[in-house]
Structure formats: C-alpha cells, structure tokens
Amino acid sequence: MSKNTTIQKENFSSWYTDIVTKAGLADYGPVKGTMVIMPYGFELWDLVKNVLDKMIKETGHVNAYFPIFIPKSYLAKEAEHIDGFAKECAVVTHTRLKSDHNGDINVDPSSRLEEEVIVRPTSETIIWSMYKKWIQSYRDLPLLINQWANVVRWEMRTRLFLRTSEFLWQEGHTAHATAEEAEEETLKILDLYKCLAEDYLAMPVLTGLKTEAEKFAGAKKTYCIEAMMGDKKALQAGTSHNLGQNFAKAFGVTFQNDKNEEELVFATSWGVSTRLVGAIIMTHGDENGLRLPPKIAPIQVVVVPIFKDEDQKKAIKSFIMNQIQDLKNENIRIYEDWSDRRPGSKFNHWELKGVPIRIEIGQRDILNEELVLYRRDKNEKSNIKIDDFVNIVKKTLRDIQTNLFLEAKNFQVKNTHNVKNFDEFKTVIENEGGFIKCGWDGTSETESRIKELTKATIRVIPFEQDIDQLKCIYSNKKAKYEVIFAKAY
C-alpha cells in the first residue's frame, strides 16, 4: 500500500482526491468550485479528446466555435431549457471596475449592460440562433457541428473532474430534415461514446434511455452511457439527446423541403466532458494510485535505471538506448527517469501516476542481458531478455488494456443485483451498493418515491428489455420497463 494516498476501502472520496492532487492531475483554483488542470492531467484529457475528435470527424462532423456569452433573452425562448439550468447560471451584469481613493475596487455602476448575458452552461440557444441564419433549404441539411469548449455551471457542491463550476467538454449540435435522421444521429453518437469508453478507457458501460425525470432539459429523449465506479456508485459518462423540434420552434429554424414546403428542422445535441478523467481514476485506481489504460496513458512505458555513479549511468544508457529508440519508432510514449532520487521513490512516483509498464535496469541486468518489467495493472514483475524487449513491451501493453477492461467488467457484473422485493432492494442499496436490475411501473410517482426512500435513481432504461412476468419493485404492478437503479455521482 502506498503512503501517498488514503486507503481506498476506508474512504473512497478522500482516496480519490488524494489521487487527483498527488498524481499531478489537477488542483483547486482560487475561486471556489474551480479546477486547475495540471499538465499530466491535461495530457490525459488531450489523448481522450484526440481519440474522440477523430471518431467525430470520421462520421462527417466538423468543428466550430461559438461565443461563451449568451444573451439572457435567448435562454428565455426555451422555457424547459432555462428551468433546467436557472440555478446554475453565472450572469454578467457590468463591463467595468473602478477603484476609489482608498484603492478599493468596485463595479462601475455606469457600465451596467443593457441586457445581461449568461456565461454558457451549454450552447443550444446561441447555436440555434445561428442555425436560423444558416439554414434555408433542405440542401443545407444535415448540419453536423461539434465544438470543444469550456462551460460554466455554478455548482454548490464540487469535486475535482466530476463536478466543477467550470469544465471542459465537447458538445455536438446537429440539424436534420426528418425525425428519423435525428434519432439515427443520437444513436450513432451513443455508439461512439460506448466505443470510446470500452475500447480506449477500458471502462464497461451500460447504454439506454434516461427517464423523463433524468433527461436533459428541453430534450425529447436522452440516451446515455452509465459506468460503475470502484465504490459501486454509477457515473453518467456521456449523453446524446434527441431534441425533436423544441429548439427549432423556439428560434424559428425552418427549411424549404424538396416540394418547396416550409418545415421545422429536427435537432440533436450530445457531449462528454473532463468528467471522463474522473471516471478513469475511479474505475481502475487502486491503493497505490492510478492504473491507466495504455491507449490513453500520457506515458506508456517509464524506464527507471538504477546506478551509483556516472560510469554505471553511461553503461545503462549504452545498453538500452537502441531498444528505447525502437519503441519510440513504434510511437510508444516512453519516458526515461534519470533523476537522482532513490529507486524506491521513483517506483512509488510512477505507480502513483499509473504508468502501465515500468522497466528497471541495474548493473546485474546488464551482465545477464535482461531487464525487469513491472506491469502496473497486476503489480507484478518479470525478467525479460533484452533481445525480446520491444516485442514483449508491445504485447504487454495490449494485455494490460484488455485486462483492465475485463477486471472492470467482472466487477460490474459481480455487483449487479437482482432483487425480489422492495425490502431487499433497500438492503442491497444501503449495505452493498452497485446496480440493481428490476422492474419499474413507468410512473414518476414510483420513481420519485424510491429516490426519496433510498437515494437511488434510475440510471438507464436498457435497450434490451425482458418484462415478461416482471413486476415493479415498489408498486408490485406490472412492469413497464426493466431498469437499472443505483446511487450516483
């Protein structure tokens, strides 16, 4: 167990914060609720971002950028939307400050804005005001735009990466000629998110529909990917929304179809955020720190030479330099730690940062023409011959990626429960946690009552349904849906 962090099983929340700060991922900003993403954390986010950006572009979408400031009147145009974000909006009222003769700085009353502006909590309103200008004909559709941006949601209770007042994300906004095209788009993006989570983050997810109570404000339907964290709580890791014609109606976005008839367009929006970094930590981390999936690890291999003087240092460099170059030629992200810290300190440092493979080299290894390979996922060491080094490293990186996913998948399956009645439901939620798969009668009353009694919410209505003979876990009426309940972040 590392001395760097709180014991995971004793206090998961403190353990998580320790990992984020001590592994150099993020720190607290000077304004309460804000976050400074440190270089190692930003490189991790950048790698995740680059993978998803490539996927988005390959499906025909293009990137653009829209202003951070939104006229307050724009939000008022879509009532359900503003109701969903009203309590989180940061409002700009003035444009200048002034100092008095005592040096105190205050708002200049003469600089009050004629119309207050909102710092974007999401960009639907400003984007749809632009789409009104850009869309006239069916030939302008579909319009497939994504932006990478920051948004502000003035959260009262914050946690680094998971919930902060400002965060980074991508938000896609598309316009379509038909309802069918819009629905196809939301599901296509959901598949991209699932691929990102499972194939790159090694994080198994459940996919499906959100309930009316849990869907995005202003959406017709919200689809999601839901993951189970190491403390058995659920995390909403990404959402894709079918907005129907709500925003088109609010902003008057119409087009001439091929019969010269005027129609309202159909819309979607979708996004994932820096919350994914938190998901990676909580899915794979252990008592020693991070365990990063190789595909998105900023450093995939760290070389830790063990030497006492300059002669030994030179001998190790000569012994390993060709193999290191071979790995670099294979586009493997490798770092050489030639610092003068003690070997044990270096080992702890790189374990905390979750580097998938550590290579140790000392004088005895040179004599034996071998290296020590430590794999972070299993915390195991093995000796490998120098001639096999490159091939074994490449294979081990693939093995670690697969193993981390299988570990997380087995954990999810093991902690997904079926219960017979509501008493058992309450016992499992309170004492064991995890996901509960059960029947729901489809009513908001049942949903809110279960939340009130247990703090568990419906995380997802899975696509695959088996409701034959299934009854609602609370009302005992015939189930309308089979759902997944859990406590969530």
| Beta-strand relationship, 105-107 and 112-119 | unpaired
Instruction: Give me 250's structure tokens.
Output: 């609010």
Question: DSSP string spanning 368-416?
Answer: HTEEEEEETTTTEEEEEEGGGHHHHHHHHHHHHHHHHHHHHHHHHHHTE
pLDDT band per the 50, 70, 90 thresholds, residue 77:
confident
| Measured distance CA(489)–CA(155) in Å, rounded | 13
CA 40 to chain centre: 16
Tokens 């070997």, residue? 343
Task: To the nearest 10°, report the CA torsion of 305, 309, 313, 319.
Answer: -90
**Which residues have a Cβ under 8 Å from the Cβ of 144 and sit 6 or more positions away?**
59, 60, 61, 62, 172, 174, 185
Quick check: 75 pLDDT over 90?
A: no
Q: Which two tokens stand for residue 442?
A: 């489809």
As a whole number, mean pLDDT of residues 90-100 equals 93
Read off the pLDDT of each residue in 10-33 and give the average, rounded to a whole number: 96
Distance between CA atoms of 346 and 352, rounded to whole angstroms? 10
- Give me the pLDDT at residue 4, please: 61
Tokens of 321: 């330099």
Q: CA-CA distance, 451 to 453, in Å (whole number)?
A: 6
- Which among 174, 161, 153, 151 is positioned nearest to 28, based on CA atoms? 161
| Sign of the alpha-carbon dihedral angle for 401, 403, 407, 413 | positive
Percent share of the chain, pLDDT over 70: 99
Q: Quick one: which H or E segment has residue 427?
A: helix 422-431
**For the segment 336-349, what is each residue's pLDDT rounded down to a tens digit?**
999 999 999 999 99
For 25-64, give one letter per residue: b (16+ CB within 10 A) or e.
bbebeeeebebebbebbbbbbebbbebbbebbeeeebeee
How much is the pLDDT for 218? 87
Nearest to 353 by CA among 39, 51, 50, 14: 39
SS3 272: strand
What region, left, alpha or beta, does residue 420 occupy, with left being phi > 0 and alpha being psi -120 to 50 degrees? alpha
What is the DSSP track for 46-58? HHHHHHHHHHHHH
Whole-number Cα distances in Å, 485 to 19, 216, 280, 349:
28, 18, 22, 38
SS3 199: helix
pLDDT score for 296: 98
pLDDT-derived band at 156, boundaries 50, 70, 90: confident
Domains detected in the chain: 12-68+122-284 (3.30.930.10), 294-404 (3.40.50.800), 416-486 (3.30.110.30)
Neighbouring C-beta atoms of residue 206, cutoff 10 Å: 21
Give me the percent of the chain exceeding a pLDDT of 90.
93
Can you give the pLDDT at residue 86? 84
Largest Cα–Cα distance in the chain? Answer: 82
Neighbours of 451 (CB within 10 A): 15
Res 1: pLDDT:
43
Lowest mean pLDDT among 66-80, 138-152, 223-237, 285-299: 66-80
Q: Is 268 left (phi over 0), alpha (psi -120 to 50) or beta?
A: beta
Q: What's the pLDDT tens digit per position in 130-140? A: 999 999 999 99
Question: What does the pLDDT read at residue 3?
Answer: 55
Residue 331 CB neighbours (<10 A): 8
* Average pLDDT, rounded, for the chain: 96
Position 403: which residue type?
N
- Region 388-414 average pLDDT: 98
pLDDT digits (tens, 9 = 90+) for 161-216: 999 999 999 999 999 999 999 999 999 999 999 999 999 999 999 999 999 999 99
Quick one: CA torsion of 154, 149, 129, 63, rounded to 10 degrees?
-160
7 secondary structure, DSSP code: -
Q: Count of alpha carbons within 13 Å of 327, Cβ hemisphere only?
A: 28
Residue 108, pLDDT > 50, answer yes
Q: What is each CA distance from 63 to 54, 94, 145, 153, in whole angstroms?
A: 11, 31, 6, 23
DSSP code of 472?
Answer: B
